[in-house]
């Protein structure tokens, strides 16, 4: 036992004598068991300046505290975000059972607010608090530096600002549990490992985290009590007393004051950019391989790992033996230089030896579905035997489809077939195997299994992911990245020429996100993706800067890269009579693709050599000279020329997007247009939660209102393959595995914003209302009006809408609403539709009508013209 903890026991002994004093209080009308310490905080002054601290322990005042009207007593402690009370020598030992109770009232939700805590060296030993992430009350018991998770209990619902609540946090060292009670009602009970003692002061009005004070309260606190016992529910009901009947109700929604929204629907403020909403894509989080690109075999050309055939394993049946290894001595061409060698020893008739691929963390198989199988194979001289291919359960227990090839040769030969599954349950836990009954060496390369694809393209995309993207009604695709365009080094950039033609000519390359790319999704496939979803490409060309800092200086050294960009543009747009247009035609697409926007580089503000100004100018002049119709996008402000568009990127917490929602209202209209080419509210993993959707939606109202200047925007990252391994970014819009995809709340907010969009923004004004964000657009042909309202607050908002009296609108309209119980509510693979928009009919519309906007909600109100 340390000297300090002995001192703690001494303090407890002293407090026991205070307990006797409190027993007298009890006989004067106090209900329930006797606390070890009590701070009524109801206003009678003490010598130390803090009022009515009714035990013998001193409470020091820190920062600003004032006194306001009480709820159970005459007065209460009022805190304003910078004041607290500190009680040295707290009367309880946190390693034994204890209970903390308090009456609390918050002025507003948002932010962590800790009513009572006990300072540990790094963080509080417990926090009785309001949580920022859920807006609920919480009782958290921590374990200092012992690597154990905190025990966290939250209230089932959200409190109402301005109402009083009785809180009780119970730590029971005997039953290893932590409980939270609100107004005497149990909210939750969780397991808690034994906790160490804490030596710091008891604190009323803040917590401690990361060695410093945090979570200051904006509100009032009264009658704080500390008990050296785990109180029972009956005890707590007695402590809370009869005032509970008058206390606030959890989950009660209160209307905030009405806000006027005045719309002059026939007066155009700005025109909505026809390309406002689009997609940003790159190979990150297995967005392409294992994602939208339909290939089911991982490491199909055996280059993913230089020393071992990753994702491949040896399979044997009937007692056969064998070995697999990488082989570099049988290249097929310059691209396919590494192959898989199988040394097969079946040993006796009926035995088989082979190789299996486990796909992208599973080979997804569906019932009654055709799979296209292909691979290159050759044998060593003297090999006799045949090959069997099968789609089967991961443990080999069931074969869902199989086929065979009889005539093998010592020269490379391309084998292909289709396999069709029968009745089965769709599942991921499968593998693809190639086995032989022959003895000797076999070599394999470019092993491919393709499921049905979107629009049946032979080298195409996964339909269920494409459908989710299509629902976003994207107008453009920014491709191929991002960092993926730049590569870690110049050598590892996205070298478009190496992504063309038959798959056997594509060597793939190391991407910047920790894994290799097959380049199965090459430049042509990006264009076909655009075509399939009716998007225009925003083609990003490599501009001479790579992520680890290599750069190509402007001038003659940059010239080959500028030439390559011009050729790339010709590949996309040139007639078949042009050199690169002819290559495109040979690749299977004679018709040129439309192209309006070309982006020069990516995030070149990271280039410490500050060469971007010169590099951009060199690309700009060369491209404009040949393609004057193209709009050129710079990745940062430049001086030497005026770019047509500047790409801005924002990754921030939801609240920062809410604060930035008016950024473009006052933005200069004289400079280049803005492409917000990457942005995302980053809360939630692996996909964003409702709070992120609120931040995103608030931000989108700002881009929409100002879409004369913000002509394009795209969320990033767009996709994440959910598997046991890590993703490269924590917060990504759409999650999927090999069988299904789901949209996050942020995805649904995007769908709502891009699906209900007019072509003009009429003049409108919204009354002052923090936490309420609005955009209005109108379809000038049909007259349909789209009102978007985002309420990030916990109050219901009453919005009085006024249209011009001359407006003839239908009396019923439609409300599309995205809301959730909590800010942290989200969608997952197993609960993909937990937070989705719901559509309702709304009545009694006219030139004046009232909308009730739910707490934490994203809303689109569609109002049609009266016929
Ligand atoms: O979206 C992920 C990355 O973030 C992009 O590749 C890059 O442009 C940005 O820094």
CA of 501 to the centre of ligand 1 (A): 28
Q: Can you tell me the distance from the alpha carbon of 719 to that of 700, in angstroms, rounded to the nearest whole number? A: 19
Task: Kindly report the protein residue whose alpha carbon is nearest to atom 5 of ligand 1.
Answer: 482
Instruction: Return the residue whose CA atom lies nearest to atom 8 of ligand 1.
Output: 482
pLDDT at 91: 87
Closest atom of ligand 1 relative to the 677 alpha carbon: 8
The secondary structure of residue 605, as a DSSP letter, is: G
| Residue bearing tokens 């959730």 | 820
Query: Which residues, 6 or more positions from 577, have their beta carbon under 8 angstroms from its beta carbon?
Result: none
Please indicate whether residue 481, judged by its CB atom, sits closer than 6 Å to ligand 1: yes
Distance 663 CA to ligand 1 centre (A): 22
* Spatial distance between the Cα atoms of 606 and 143, rounded to a whole number of angstroms: 41
DSSP 8-state secondary structure symbol assigned to residue 597: E
Q: What pLDDT does 13 receive? A: 27
For ligand 1, say whether the CB of 602 is within 6 Å of any of its atoms: yes
pTM: 0.84
- Whole-number Å distance, alpha carbon 612 to ligand 1 midpoint, is 18
For ligand 1, atom 7, which residue shows the shortest CA distance? Answer: 482
Quote the ligand 1 centre to 285 CA distance (angstroms): 12
CB-ligand 1 contact for 702 (6 Å cutoff): no
CA separation for the pair 88, 419 (Å, rounded) = 75
Structural contact between residues 695 and 654, judged by C-beta atoms closer than 8 angstroms:
yes
Residue closest to 80 by CA, chosen among 91, 89, 68: 68
Closest residue CA from atom 4 of ligand 1: 482
Weakly modelled stretches of the chain, pLDDT under 70: 1-32, 43-59, 144-146
Query: Is the four-CA dihedral 603, 605, 609, 614 of positive or negative sign?
Result: positive
Q: Is the CB of 603 under 6 A from ligand 1?
A: yes
Atom of ligand 1 nearest to the CA of 728: 2
Contact between 210 and 123 (Cβ < 8 Å): yes
Task: Report whether residue 90 contacts ligand 1, using a CB cutoff of 6 Å.
Answer: no
The Cβ-side half-sphere exposure at 158, using a 13 Å CA radius, reads 22
Torsions phi, psi for 566 (to 5 deg): -65, -40
Would the CB of 283 count as within 6 Å of ligand 1? no
Q: Measured from the CB, is residue 364 less than 6 Å from ligand 1? A: no
**Contact (Cβ atoms closer than 8 angstroms) between residue 296 and residue 432:** yes
Pair type for strands 645-652 and 673-681 = parallel
613 Cα to the center of ligand 1, angstroms = 21
CA of 650 to the centre of ligand 1 (A): 10
pLDDT at 216: 97
Contact 217 CB / ligand 1 (< 6 Å): no
> How far is the CA of 509 from the CAs of 68, 284, 516, 552, in angstroms?
67, 14, 6, 20
């Amino acid at each position: 036992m340390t000297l300090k903890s002995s001192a703690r026991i001494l303090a407890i002994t002293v407090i026991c004598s205070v307990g006797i004093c409190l027993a007298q209080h009890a006989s004067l009308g106090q209900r329930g068991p006797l606390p070890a310490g009590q701070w009524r905080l109801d206003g009678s002054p003490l010598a130390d300046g803090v009022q009515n601290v009714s035990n013998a322990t001193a409470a020091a005042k820190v920062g600003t505290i004032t006194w306001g009207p009480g709820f159970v007593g005459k007065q209460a402690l009022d805190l304003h975000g910078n004041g607290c009370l500190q009680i040295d020598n707290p009367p309880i030992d946190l390693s034994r059972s204890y209970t903390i109770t308090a009456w609390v009232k918050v002025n507003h939700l948002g932010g962590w607010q800790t009513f009572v805590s006990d300072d540990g060296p790094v963080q509080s030993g417990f926090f009785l608090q309001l949580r920022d992430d859920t807006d609920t009350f919480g009782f958290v018991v921590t374990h200092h530096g012992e690597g154990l998770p905190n025990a966290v209990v939250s209230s089932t619902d959200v409190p109402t600002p301005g109402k009083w609540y009785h809180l009780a946090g119970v730590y029971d060292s005997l039953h290893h549990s932590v409980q939270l009670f609100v107004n005497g009602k149990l909210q939750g009970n969780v397991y808690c490992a034994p906790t160490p003692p804490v030596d710091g002061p008891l604190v009323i009005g803040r917590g401690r985290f990361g060695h410093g004070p945090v979570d200051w309260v904006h509100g009032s606190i009264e009658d704080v009590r500390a008990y050296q016992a785990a109180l029972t529910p009956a005890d707590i009901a007695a402590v809370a007393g009869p005032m509970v009947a008058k206390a606030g109700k959890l989950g009660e929604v209160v209307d905030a004051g009405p806000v006027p929204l005045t719309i002059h629907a026939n007066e155009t403020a700005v025109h909505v950019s026809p390309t406002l909403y689009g997609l940003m894509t790159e190979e990150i989080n297995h967005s392409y391989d294992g994602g939208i690109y339909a290939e089911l075999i991982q490491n199909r050309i055996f280059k993913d790992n230089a020393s071992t055939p990753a994702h491949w394993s040896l399979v044997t049946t009937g007692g056969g033996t064998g070995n697999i290894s990488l082989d570099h001595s049988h290249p097929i061409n310059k691209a396919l230089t590494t192959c898989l060698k199988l040394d097969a020893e079946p040993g006796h008739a009926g035995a088989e030896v082979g190789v299996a691929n486990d796909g992208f963390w599973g080979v997804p198989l569906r019932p009654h579905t055709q799979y296209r199988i292909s691979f290159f194979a050759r044998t060593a001289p003297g090999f006799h035997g045949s090959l069997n291919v099968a789609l089967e359960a991961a443990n080999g227990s069931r074969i869902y489809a199989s086929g065979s090839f009889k005539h093998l040769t010592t020269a490379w030969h391309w084998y292909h077939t289709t396999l069709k599954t029968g009745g089965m349950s769709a599942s991921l836990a499968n593998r693809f195997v190639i086995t032989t009954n022959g003895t000797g060496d076999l070599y394999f390369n470019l092993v491919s299994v393709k499921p049905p694809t979107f629009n049946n393209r032979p080298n195409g995309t996964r339909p269920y992911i494409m459908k989710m993207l299509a629902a976003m009604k994207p107008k453009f695709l920014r491709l191929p990245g991002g960092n993926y365009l730049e590569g870690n080094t110049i050598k590892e950039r996205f070298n478009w020429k190496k992504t063309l033609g038959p798959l056997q000519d594509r060597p793939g390359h190391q991407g910047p996100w920790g894994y290799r790319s097959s380049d199965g999704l090459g430049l042509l496939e990006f264009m076909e993706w655009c075509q399939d979803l009716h998007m225009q490409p925003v083609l990003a060309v490599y501009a001479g800067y790579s992520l680890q800092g290599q750069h190509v200086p402007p001038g003659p050294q940059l010239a080959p890269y500028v030439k390559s960009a011009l050729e790339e543009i010709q590949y996309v747009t040139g007639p078949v009579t042009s050199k690169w247009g002819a290559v495109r035609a040979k690749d299977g697409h004679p018709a040129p693709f439309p192209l309006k926007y070309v982006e020069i580089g990516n995030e070149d503000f990271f280039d410490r050599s500050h060469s971007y100004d010169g590099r951009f100018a060199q690309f700009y002049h060369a491209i404009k000279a040949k393609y004057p119709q193209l709009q050129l996008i710079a990745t940062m402000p430049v001086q030497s020329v005026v770019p047509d568009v500047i790409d801005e990127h924002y990754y921030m917490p939801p609240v920062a997007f809410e604060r930035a929602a008016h950024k473009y209202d006052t933005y200069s209209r004289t400079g280049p247009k803005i492409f917000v080419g990457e942005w995302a509210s980053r809360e939630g993993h692996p996909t964003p939660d409702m709070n992120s959707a609120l931040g995103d939606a608030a931000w989108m109202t700002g881009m929409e209102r100002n879409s004369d200047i913000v002509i394009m925007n795209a969320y990033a990252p767009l996709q994440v393959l959910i598997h046991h391994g890590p993703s490269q970014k924590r917060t990504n819009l759409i999650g999927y595995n090999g069988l299904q995809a789901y949209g996050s709340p942020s995805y649904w907010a995007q769908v709502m914003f891009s699906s209900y969009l007019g072509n003009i923004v009429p003049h409108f004004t919204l009354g002052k209302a923090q936490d309420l964000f609005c955009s209005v657009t109108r379809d000038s042909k049909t007259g349909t009006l789209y009102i978007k309202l985002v309420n990030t607050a916990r109050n219901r908002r009453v919005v009085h809408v006024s249209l011009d009296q001359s407006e003839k609108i239908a009396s019923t309209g439609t409300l599309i609403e995205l809301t959730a119980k909590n800010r942290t509510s989200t969608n997952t693979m197993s609960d993909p539709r937990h937070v989705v928009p719901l559509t309702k009919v709304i009545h009694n519309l006219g030139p004046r009508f009232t909308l009730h906007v739910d707490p934490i909600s994203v809303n689109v109100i569609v109002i049609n013209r009266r016929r």
